[in-house]
A and B are shown apart, each in its own frame.
Chain A
């Protein structure tokens, strides 16, 4: 297990490093002058030249990559062009808002999706199972930003039940929760279907195993078997897959934050693009990508801890 953990950690580090190289080499590979795109058509040639020097774009590609790595390793992600503060500080200020949104979405979708999956497995092949199946597929397919806008339109603009913008008062947790309802609805809805599907599938697998048949032979009630014996095992792959799905969730969170004008990393990047605040965009993309790699790493380690067969795959 230790060997696997070390190997997996090494792989995560390599992947992060290559991802960073890809990110920085995009500047080299993409045709056109980033200085021209970022500064807009009105910038004078002198301004462009200054910008290139500031960003180190006048140096050879390899020098740029090496410098960039050196800075990232020391935790220096550059300077926010607008406020002159460290990019790391700017991004980290927004991270708690995004984490809160993701956490709220996972929680509510797990609370509904997991029992739904159990229910569908329990009544396999019934009309209810088929309806749950179609609803799951639909909820996975629907883009979160459409749900966000329709939710905003119906519950905020037309009915006035929920606030339209912001994350609530700083010192007021109830108000903050209230502001989380619609955004987390948009982010989490697809996950209800995803979880229901996953739990149903692994549940069906577990239900056909020997120890469950044993419990059945003892005459235990089907409901007791499902929730007390089978679910404990069936939930494992689902929990692990949750870690892998965080990337999707980050993507949906970006849209939810923008639609509901909610502070967070996604909103930060979006605003930084319109103000051409290039270091903030790159810094925030780097941090979220690192976070995502970390999540898949944790998920893989949990999987390996629970199931020894996984350890031999690396």
Chain B
């Protein structure tokens, strides 16, 4: 995998983001302390990406934003992963009526364009990090559950499952011991391919003011500040977009390479 230039680039970019998140506290600036005298400074050795409309160091804010982005990606995909696995197995292994009911629920959830779901939900809850996680879970879980369900159904009739059943193993044991281990691999790949999507949703919602509240530095919020003051200085907008580009490209390259190496069967369209 290291021989693939795309995979190598992906690892490099992802590492950049992860290291940034780890060492965000070492830049010597606070991500939220105001310094009105230093507004809209251009990049220099003291401020690597310049400063924003409140004089805050953009580089520091971007690094702290990496923590939010990675945190949301980790927590939300984790919940989706577990939820999709469980619901998918229930739909695939359980009684027919339950399967139909769950399928209907998944398909109905997928009927909403993601942004519409986010907008409708946040009107009711108000903007928060929890709302972002909820939107990500609602947007991604049905897809995972559908894949798990299809795999469970085909595994249900395999000989090793049938023999376990004829030996009298209870349903939960068959699911946990015999079926689940065969589902986790493909699902991990699927979920890792979705990390750029999750990062995009978080940044997008924060950009629209539906995500984390200021002054918490999220990439989307930095981009939104930059957008508001785009005529004063280009740097806040550039600084907000750059990490989103690096992260989405990095995780995409990494995910694509991982998928091609680990499971060629999942290769969807070339």
**Residues of chain A at the chain B interface (Cβ within 8 Å):** 14-16, 18-19, 22-23, 26-27, 30, 32, 34, 37-38, 133-134, 137-138, 140-143, 145-146, 149-150, 152-153, 157-158, 197-198, 200-202, 204, 247-248, 250-251, 254-255, 258-259, 266, 269-270, 273, 278, 281-282, 285, 288-289, 292-293
Decide if B123 is an interface residue (CB 8 Å cutoff). Answer: yes
Decide if B40 is an interface residue (CB 8 Å cutoff). Answer: no
Decide if B114 is an interface residue (CB 8 Å cutoff). Answer: yes
Residues in A neighbouring B122, C-beta threshold 8 A: 273
* Complex contact B256–A137 (CB within 8 A): yes
* Complex contact B125–A37 (CB within 8 A): yes
Count how many chain B residues have C-beta atoms less than 8 Å from C-beta atoms of the other chain: 48
Decide if B104 is an interface residue (CB 8 Å cutoff). Answer: yes
Main secondary structure of the interface of B (DSSP, over half): helix
With A259-B227, A281-B120 in contact, is A19–B113 under 8 Å at CB? no
Q: How far is the CA of A19 from the CA of B106 in the complex (A)?
A: 10
Of B49-57, B60-68, B244-252, the one with at least 4 CB within 8 A of chain A: B244-252
Q: How far is the CA of A225 from the CA of B126 in the complex (A)?
A: 57
Residues in B neighbouring A255, C-beta threshold 8 A: 115, 204, 207-208
In the assembled complex, 23 residue pairs joining A and B whose CB atoms fall closer than 8 Å, in A order, are A23-B120, A26-B121, A26-B124, A27-B124, A37-B123, A37-B125, A38-B124, A137-B6, A137-B253, A143-B248, A149-B237, A149-B241, A153-B234, A158-B234, A197-B270, A198-B269, A251-B116, A255-B204, A281-B119, A282-B123, A288-B116, A289-B116, A293-B111
Q: How far is the CA of A37 from the CA of B230 in the complex (A)?
A: 31
The 7 closest A-B pairs by CB, nearest first: A201-B270, A18-B108, A141-B252, A201-B269, A251-B115, A247-B113, A143-B200
Q: How far is the CA of A173 from the CA of B152 in the complex (A)?
A: 54
A164 CB to closest chain B CB, in angstroms? 9
* Complex contact A250–B120 (CB within 8 A): no
Q: How far is the CA of A204 from the CA of B269 in the complex (A)?
A: 10
Residues in B neighbouring A149, C-beta threshold 8 A: 223, 226-227, 230, 237, 240-241
* Complex contact B207–A250 (CB within 8 A): no
Q: How far is the CA of A146 from the CA of B237 in the complex (A)?
A: 9
Residues in A neighbouring B125, C-beta threshold 8 A: 30, 32, 37
Decide if B187 is an interface residue (CB 8 Å cutoff). Answer: no
A-facing residues in B86-107 (Cβ within 8 Å)? 104-105, 107
* Complex contact A141–B196 (CB within 8 A): yes
Decide if B203 is an interface residue (CB 8 Å cutoff). Answer: yes
Residues in A neighbouring B203, C-beta threshold 8 A: 143, 145-146
Residues in A neighbouring B223, C-beta threshold 8 A: 145-146, 149
A147 CB to closest chain B CB, in angstroms? 9
* Complex contact B104–A146 (CB within 8 A): no
8 additional A-B pairs beyond A143-B244, A157-B230, A269-B116, beta carbons within 8 Å, are A27-B124, A30-B124, A34-B124, A141-B249, A152-B230, A153-B234, A248-B113, A292-B111
With A158-B234, A197-B269, A278-B123 in contact, is A142–B115 under 8 Å at CB? no
Q: Which of B113, B230, B252 contacts A289 (CB 8 A)?
A: B113
Q: Which of A142, A157, A248, A281 contacts B123 (CB 8 A)?
A: A281
Q: Which A-chain residue is minimally distant from B252 (CB atoms)?
A: A141
Q: How far is the CA of A145 from the CA of B237 in the complex (A)?
A: 11
Residues in A neighbouring B115, C-beta threshold 8 A: 250-251, 254-255, 266
* Complex contact B241–A250 (CB within 8 A): no
* Complex contact B105–A146 (CB within 8 A): no
Decide if B18 is an interface residue (CB 8 Å cutoff). Answer: no
* Complex contact B124–A37 (CB within 8 A): yes
Decide if B231 is an interface residue (CB 8 Å cutoff). Answer: yes
Residues in A neighbouring B253, C-beta threshold 8 A: 137
Interface centre among A137, A145, A158, A288 (most CB of B within 10 A): A145
A163 CB to closest chain B CB, in angstroms? 14
Residues in B neighbouring A250, C-beta threshold 8 A: 113, 115-116
Decide if B109 is an interface residue (CB 8 Å cutoff). Answer: yes
Decide if B238 is an interface residue (CB 8 Å cutoff). Answer: yes
* Complex contact A22–B119 (CB within 8 A): no
Q: Which B-chain residue is minimally distant from A156 (CB atoms)?
A: B230
Q: Which of A146, A157, A201, A258 contacts B241 (CB 8 A)?
A: A146
Decide if B112 is an interface residue (CB 8 Å cutoff). Answer: yes
Q: Which of A22, A254, A269 contacts B108 (CB 8 A)?
A: A22
Residues in A neighbouring B245, C-beta threshold 8 A: 142, 146
* Complex contact B248–A270 (CB within 8 A): no
Q: How far is the CA of A198 from the CA of B252 in the complex (A)?
A: 17
Q: How far is the CA of A273 from the CA of B207 in the complex (A)?
A: 14
Interface centre among A22, A32, A255, A293 (most CB of B within 10 A): A22
A6 CB to closest chain B CB, in angstroms? 18
